[in-house]
Protein backbone atom coordinates (compact mmCIF):
# COMPACT_ATOMS: atom_id res chain seq x y z
CA UNK A 1 0.00 0.00 0.00
CA UNK A 2 1.06 3.59 -0.62
CA UNK A 3 1.29 4.42 3.08
CA UNK A 4 3.63 1.50 3.78
CA UNK A 5 5.81 2.26 0.77
CA UNK A 6 6.18 5.91 1.77
CA UNK A 7 7.14 5.00 5.32
CA UNK A 8 9.65 2.40 4.15
CA UNK A 9 11.28 4.79 1.67
CA UNK A 10 11.58 7.52 4.24
CA UNK A 11 13.21 5.17 6.73
CA UNK A 12 15.61 3.87 4.08
CA UNK A 13 16.66 7.42 3.23
CA UNK A 14 16.91 8.31 6.94
CA UNK A 15 14.90 11.52 6.63
CA UNK A 16 12.05 12.96 8.67
CA UNK A 17 8.49 13.45 7.53
CA UNK A 18 9.04 17.18 7.97
CA UNK A 19 12.04 17.09 5.60
CA UNK A 20 10.05 15.29 2.91
CA UNK A 21 7.12 17.66 3.30
CA UNK A 22 9.33 20.74 2.98
CA UNK A 23 11.04 19.29 -0.08
CA UNK A 24 7.77 18.71 -1.95
CA UNK A 25 6.06 21.87 -0.70
CA UNK A 26 3.35 20.53 1.59
CA UNK A 27 2.63 20.70 5.33
CA UNK A 28 4.25 18.07 7.56
CA UNK A 29 0.85 17.00 8.88
CA UNK A 30 -0.35 16.52 5.32
CA UNK A 31 2.55 14.24 4.53
CA UNK A 32 2.05 12.29 7.76
CA UNK A 33 -1.55 11.72 6.74
CA UNK A 34 -0.25 9.97 3.61
CA UNK A 35 1.82 7.60 5.75
CA UNK A 36 -1.11 6.84 8.04
CA UNK A 37 -3.50 6.30 5.15
CA UNK A 38 -5.88 9.07 6.18
CA UNK A 39 -5.29 10.88 2.88
CA UNK A 40 -3.76 10.23 -0.52
CA UNK A 41 -1.64 12.69 -2.50
CA UNK A 42 -2.90 14.16 -5.75
CA UNK A 43 -1.02 13.37 -8.96
CA UNK A 44 1.23 16.44 -8.79
CA UNK A 45 2.29 15.70 -5.21
CA UNK A 46 2.76 12.03 -6.01
CA UNK A 47 5.21 12.93 -8.80
CA UNK A 48 7.12 15.28 -6.48
CA UNK A 49 7.42 12.57 -3.83
CA UNK A 50 8.59 10.05 -6.43
CA UNK A 51 11.24 12.51 -7.66
CA UNK A 52 12.37 13.14 -4.09
CA UNK A 53 12.92 9.44 -3.40
CA UNK A 54 14.22 8.75 -6.93
CA UNK A 55 11.60 6.12 -7.68
CA UNK A 56 8.76 5.91 -10.19
CA UNK A 57 5.16 6.78 -9.42
CA UNK A 58 4.32 3.20 -10.36
CA UNK A 59 6.51 1.99 -7.54
CA UNK A 60 4.78 4.32 -5.06
CA UNK A 61 1.43 2.91 -6.16
CA UNK A 62 2.66 -0.65 -5.71
CA UNK A 63 2.65 -1.41 -9.43
CA UNK A 64 6.42 -1.83 -9.91
CA UNK A 65 8.60 -4.25 -7.94
CA UNK A 66 11.88 -2.40 -8.43
CA UNK A 67 12.87 0.32 -5.93
CA UNK A 68 16.40 0.70 -7.27
CA UNK A 69 16.68 3.55 -9.83
CA UNK A 70 19.83 1.90 -11.22
CA UNK A 71 18.06 -1.32 -12.18
CA UNK A 72 17.86 -0.28 -15.83
CA UNK A 73 21.66 -0.16 -15.84
CA UNK A 74 21.85 -3.67 -14.39
CA UNK A 75 23.84 -2.42 -11.40
CA UNK A 76 23.78 -4.10 -7.99
CA UNK A 77 22.98 -1.25 -5.59
CA UNK A 78 21.94 -2.10 -2.05
CA UNK A 79 19.52 -0.14 0.13
CA UNK A 80 22.33 1.74 1.87
CA UNK A 81 23.81 2.93 -1.40
CA UNK A 82 20.37 3.90 -2.67
CA UNK A 83 19.82 5.96 0.49
CA UNK A 84 23.16 7.70 0.03
CA UNK A 85 22.23 8.62 -3.54
CA UNK A 86 19.05 10.20 -2.22
CA UNK A 87 21.06 12.24 0.26
CA UNK A 88 23.51 13.19 -2.49
CA UNK A 89 20.72 14.67 -4.61
CA UNK A 90 19.71 16.89 -1.67
CA UNK A 91 23.20 18.42 -1.36
CA UNK A 92 23.92 21.91 -2.74
CA UNK A 93 25.25 21.82 -6.29
CA UNK A 94 28.83 22.92 -5.36
CA UNK A 95 29.09 20.01 -2.91
CA UNK A 96 27.81 17.57 -5.53
CA UNK A 97 30.46 18.89 -7.94
CA UNK A 98 33.23 18.16 -5.43
CA UNK A 99 31.92 14.63 -4.81
CA UNK A 100 31.69 13.96 -8.53
CA UNK A 101 35.31 15.02 -8.96
CA UNK A 102 36.35 12.69 -6.13
CA UNK A 103 34.41 9.80 -7.71
CA UNK A 104 36.02 10.48 -11.09
CA UNK A 105 39.50 10.46 -9.58
CA UNK A 106 38.71 7.26 -7.68
CA UNK A 107 37.52 5.64 -10.89
CA UNK A 108 40.62 6.73 -12.77
CA UNK A 109 42.87 5.51 -9.96
CA UNK A 110 41.08 2.15 -9.89
CA UNK A 111 41.64 1.71 -13.61
CA UNK A 112 45.34 2.43 -13.14
CA UNK A 113 45.55 0.17 -10.10
CA UNK A 114 46.67 3.07 -7.93
CA UNK A 115 45.93 3.57 -4.26
CA UNK A 116 46.83 7.24 -3.93
CA UNK A 117 45.06 9.57 -1.56
CA UNK A 118 42.43 10.82 -4.01
CA UNK A 119 40.33 12.44 -1.28
CA UNK A 120 43.32 14.48 -0.14
CA UNK A 121 44.03 15.75 -3.64
CA UNK A 122 40.48 16.96 -4.10
CA UNK A 123 40.44 19.24 -1.06
CA UNK A 124 40.36 22.99 -1.82
CA UNK A 125 43.71 24.76 -1.64
CA UNK A 126 44.97 28.33 -1.28
CA UNK A 127 48.27 30.13 -1.84
CA UNK A 128 50.00 31.81 1.08
CA UNK A 129 53.23 33.79 1.48
CA UNK A 130 56.05 31.96 3.29
CA UNK A 131 59.16 33.67 4.56
CA UNK A 132 62.34 32.07 3.25
CA UNK A 133 64.03 32.29 6.65
CA UNK A 134 63.23 29.54 9.10
CA UNK A 135 62.48 29.87 12.80
CA UNK A 136 64.51 29.39 14.93
CA UNK A 137 67.47 29.55 12.55
CA UNK A 138 66.88 32.49 10.22
CA UNK A 139 68.78 35.69 10.71
CA UNK A 140 66.15 38.40 11.07
CA UNK A 141 62.74 38.81 9.50
CA UNK A 142 62.63 41.76 7.15
CA UNK A 143 58.94 41.65 6.27
CA UNK A 144 59.22 44.47 3.74
CA UNK A 145 61.67 42.74 1.38
CA UNK A 146 59.79 40.99 -1.44
CA UNK A 147 62.74 38.79 -2.39
CA UNK A 148 62.64 37.12 1.05
CA UNK A 149 59.23 35.60 0.35
CA UNK A 150 57.86 32.72 -1.72
CA UNK A 151 54.29 31.61 -2.45
CA UNK A 152 53.31 28.08 -1.45
CA UNK A 153 50.09 26.15 -2.07
CA UNK A 154 48.43 24.69 1.03
CA UNK A 155 45.16 22.99 1.91
CA UNK A 156 42.48 25.58 2.64
CA UNK A 157 41.38 25.67 6.29
CA UNK A 158 39.86 28.18 8.68
CA UNK A 159 43.37 29.02 9.93
CA UNK A 160 44.79 29.71 6.44
CA UNK A 161 42.03 32.25 5.95
CA UNK A 162 43.14 34.13 9.07
CA UNK A 163 46.94 33.87 8.62
CA UNK A 164 48.98 36.74 7.20
CA UNK A 165 51.97 34.58 6.25
CA UNK A 166 53.76 31.32 7.03
CA UNK A 167 57.21 30.30 8.20
CA UNK A 168 58.92 26.91 8.37
CA UNK A 169 59.81 25.54 11.81
CA UNK A 170 63.45 24.50 12.20
CA UNK A 171 64.31 22.22 15.13
CA UNK A 172 62.30 20.32 17.72
CA UNK A 173 62.36 22.73 20.67
CA UNK A 174 58.57 23.17 20.50
CA UNK A 175 57.64 19.48 20.37
CA UNK A 176 55.15 17.94 20.81
CA UNK A 177 53.15 20.96 19.58
CA UNK A 178 55.33 21.89 16.60
CA UNK A 179 57.79 19.71 14.71
CA UNK A 180 60.78 20.54 12.56
CA UNK A 181 59.59 21.13 9.00
CA UNK A 182 56.09 22.21 10.00
CA UNK A 183 54.75 25.24 8.14
CA UNK A 184 53.53 27.51 10.92
CA UNK A 185 50.73 29.95 10.12
CA UNK A 186 51.30 33.40 11.59
CA UNK A 187 48.92 36.30 12.16
CA UNK A 188 50.48 39.72 12.66
CA UNK A 189 50.35 40.68 16.34
CA UNK A 190 52.95 42.90 18.03
CA UNK A 191 51.85 41.83 21.52
CA UNK A 192 51.24 38.08 21.76
CA UNK A 193 49.92 37.27 25.26
CA UNK A 194 52.07 35.42 27.78
CA UNK A 195 51.49 31.69 27.38
CA UNK A 196 50.75 31.84 23.65
CA UNK A 197 53.07 30.70 20.86
CA UNK A 198 54.38 33.36 18.53
CA UNK A 199 57.14 34.35 16.11
CA UNK A 200 59.76 36.52 17.77
CA UNK A 201 63.06 38.17 16.80
CA UNK A 202 65.82 38.40 19.37
CA UNK A 203 69.39 39.53 18.61
CA UNK A 204 68.77 39.12 14.88
CA UNK A 205 67.48 35.56 15.20
CA UNK A 206 63.94 34.40 14.48
CA UNK A 207 62.25 32.09 16.98
CA UNK A 208 58.92 30.33 17.32
CA UNK A 209 58.44 30.01 21.07
CA UNK A 210 55.91 30.35 23.84
CA UNK A 211 55.97 33.86 25.24
CA UNK A 212 56.98 34.12 28.87
CA UNK A 213 57.75 37.06 31.14
CA UNK A 214 61.00 38.49 29.73
CA UNK A 215 61.88 35.16 28.12
CA UNK A 216 60.98 32.80 25.30
CA UNK A 217 59.93 29.35 26.47
CA UNK A 218 60.72 26.04 24.75
CA UNK A 219 57.97 23.44 25.25
CA UNK A 220 60.42 20.60 24.75
CA UNK A 221 62.00 20.15 28.23
CA UNK A 222 65.33 19.20 26.64
CA UNK A 223 65.81 22.80 25.48
CA UNK A 224 66.50 25.80 27.73
CA UNK A 225 64.41 28.94 27.67
CA UNK A 226 65.84 32.05 26.02
CA UNK A 227 66.19 35.06 28.32
CA UNK A 228 65.63 38.60 27.11
CA UNK A 229 63.03 40.95 25.66
CA UNK A 230 62.19 39.87 22.11
CA UNK A 231 60.41 41.77 19.36
CA UNK A 232 57.07 40.12 18.68
CA UNK A 233 56.04 39.68 15.06
CA UNK A 234 52.92 37.55 15.24
CA UNK A 235 50.80 34.84 16.81
CA UNK A 236 51.12 31.25 15.58
CA UNK A 237 47.54 30.16 14.84
CA UNK A 238 48.08 26.76 13.26
CA UNK A 239 50.06 24.54 10.91
CA UNK A 240 49.57 24.49 7.15
CA UNK A 241 49.30 21.30 5.14
CA UNK A 242 51.06 21.37 1.79
CA UNK A 243 49.15 20.23 -1.29
- Percentage of the chain lying above the pLDDT 90 cut: 35
- What sign results for the dihedral spanned by CA atoms 4, 7, 9, 12? negative
How many Å apart are CA 71 and CA 45, to the nearest integer? 24
Distance, C-alpha 242 to centroid of its chain: 15
> Is residue 17 within 8 Å of 35, Cβ to Cβ?
yes
pLDDT number for residue 72:
43
For the cut 50, the answer to whether the pLDDT of residue 73 exceeds it is no
**Per-residue pLDDT tens digits for 93-146:** 677 777 777 777 777 766 666 555 544 555 678 888 888 888 764 445 556 566
Across the chain, mean pLDDT equals 81
Give the DSSP letter of residue 71: G
Rounding to the nearest 10 degrees, give the CA dihedral for residues 143, 134, 185, 221: -130
Other beta carbons less than 10 A from residue 183's beta carbon: 18
- More confident site: 79 or 10: 10
Query: Model-level pTM?
Result: 0.50
> Is residue 118 within 8 Å of 106, Cβ to Cβ?
yes
Amino acid sequence: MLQDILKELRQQHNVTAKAVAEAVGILPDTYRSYETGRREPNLKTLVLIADYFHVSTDYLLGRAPQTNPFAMLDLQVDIGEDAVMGQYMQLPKPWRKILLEVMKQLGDAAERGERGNVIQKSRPSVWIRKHQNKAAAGFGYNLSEDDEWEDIEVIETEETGKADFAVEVDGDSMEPDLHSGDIALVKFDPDVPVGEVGLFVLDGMGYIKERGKKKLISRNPEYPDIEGEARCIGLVIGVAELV
